[in-house]
Amino acid sequence: MKKIAILGQPNVGKSSLFNRFAKKRIAITSDTAGTTRDVKKEYIDFDGKEAQLLDTGGIDDSSELFKSVKNKAIEAAGEADVILYVVDGKRLPDERDRDLFYRLQKLGRPIALVVNKIDNDKEEERAWEFGSFGAKNMFAVSVSHNRRIGKLIEWIKSHLDEPALMLETEGDDALENLIEQFDETGVLQEEDETPNEIGVAIIGRTNVGKSSLLNALLGSDRAVVSEVAGTTIDPVDESMTIEDKTVTFIDTAGLRRRGKIQGIERFALNRTRQMLERADIALLVLDASAPLSELDEKIAGLVDEFKLGCIIVLNKWDEAIGSYEEVVEELRYRFKFLSWAPVITVSAKSKKRVHKISDMILKVYENYTRHIPTGELNEVVKQATVKHHIPSFKGKPVNILFASQYAVKPPKIALISNRPNGIHFSYIRYLTNQLREKFDFEGTPLILLPKRRGEREEES
């Protein structure tokens, strides 16, 4: 006989859903969080299909008692053939709910996200805020009003005749791993999915000192240095360890104006572009001893094209043609699209301030892989829209229903809207600036994409 486990944080309506399925009051319900502590079991007849229903205690670590309740709930999930994860639809999506839902998915069971307390059609839009969970099966219901419970029951019935699914790993080990992923505060520990290697491409026009900078960073002469422009043809890969990260530097061929690219250098340009596809951060090297050129701007455009993190390196600073303020002012004017990139002045030849680049690489990479909790993200967006309302589109109101970050490297945020085409690029820029003021995204592009509800975030 199949088992169905109901999980969720305290006071989201798990016991009420249990009673609704049982068609009688078996579990005690109360507004007091943590009323259910043991796992309650009841045999339920779903229109001729029998199953055992497991009502678990709310997942909470506020005391030793509730830590035990949490463990029992997770153990029940391991026994179950079908999992129902219940959330409170009257609250903003909770980062802890999302993390636990992701971990429960890895148990290999059919799992549904049940958004409870959606009492009418008007409130149903709120349920879509939980779309950021990426649940394949999501049901907006009201247990107390018996609203749309039938659709949930039909989904459950569709899985009662299927053969039981096995855990992806050995049963007991999978449960132990899930339990151990909670830290002492009750928050799920993140799995370390961040790669330990950072790809850093050194880009710039010919003879700006890219190879000299690489040698200075590595502390040895790994790249050939010459006064002859275009000495580096093949991209050069060299690695070093910075703290716990392996940083692989790619010294790319110096780029020239299109009309001057001939023969083997044309292949070098193509290879440079291929190397940029696997880089995370670009060190954009500029010659501080010479005026900025149109070619510098075009090379900087590769950072935007490949959506890389970026550090602007002003090399040959001991021969700079102006003061720091003058050079940076000109730089910011010419490279408006890189206004978020930090600037560092160095001399690769004397190695002056080169060591600062290493620390900056780690900081930029941290921002490049930054993920903002959905609750915090939506609070900032909400405050921004209150401060500056979204202009109407063709006379109709435009609303952002919720925001969800769906990718890193670089950070990408979907703005779920009733009229995504009505969000002007200037308003996107405004929201981007608001997010940059609140969160540290220095050194990384930040991409905001208006989407229609139900549209996949990956679609552009």
Q: Are residues 150 and 205 in the same domain?
A: no
pLDDT tens digits for range 38-91 = 467 888 888 778 888 888 765 654 434 334 445 667 777 778 889 999 999 888
Q: Give the model's confidence band at 34: pLDDT under 50 very low, under 70 low, under 90 confident, else very high.
A: very low
List, for residues 290-341, the tens digit of each pLDDT value.
999 888 888 899 899 999 999 999 999 999 999 999 999 999 999 999 999 9
Same domain, 292 and 361: yes
Same domain? 29 vs 145: yes
389 plus 347 within the same structural domain: no
Residues 171, 86 within the same domain: yes
Residue whose pair of structure tokens reads 């435009």 in the numeric block: 398
CATH label of the domain that carries residue 398: 3.30.300.20
Distance in angstroms (rounded) separating the CA atoms of residues 345 and 285: 10
Tell me, yes or no, whether 457 lies in a domain.
no
CATH code for the domain in which residue 55 is found: 3.40.50.300
Which of 190-199, 228-237, 345-354, 356-365 is predicted least confidently?
A: 228-237
Domain ranges, residue 33: 2-180
Q: Looking at the structure, do residues 404 and 315 belong to the same domain, yes or no?
A: no
pLDDT tens digits along 385-418: 999 999 999 999 999 988 888 888 999 998 989 8
- 40-46/82-88 β-pairing: unpaired
Assess if residue 190 is contained within a domain. no
Pairwise pLDDT comparison (250 vs 115), residue with the higher score: 115
The sheet with strand 82-88 has its strands ordered as 40-46, 49-55, 2-8, 82-88, 111-116, 138-140
Integer Cα distance of 194 and 187 in angstroms = 19
Q: 413: which DSSP letter?
A: E
Number of domains in the chain: 3
| Token pair 């139900």 in the structure block, residue | 454
pLDDT for 27 equals 43
Contact in structure between 214 and 225 (CB atoms under 8 Å): no
- Residues 336, 258, single domain; the answer is yes
459 found inside a domain: no
| CA pair distance 104, 111, nearest whole angstrom | 8
Question: What pLDDT shows up at residue 324?
Answer: 95
- Same domain? For 363 and 386 the reply is no
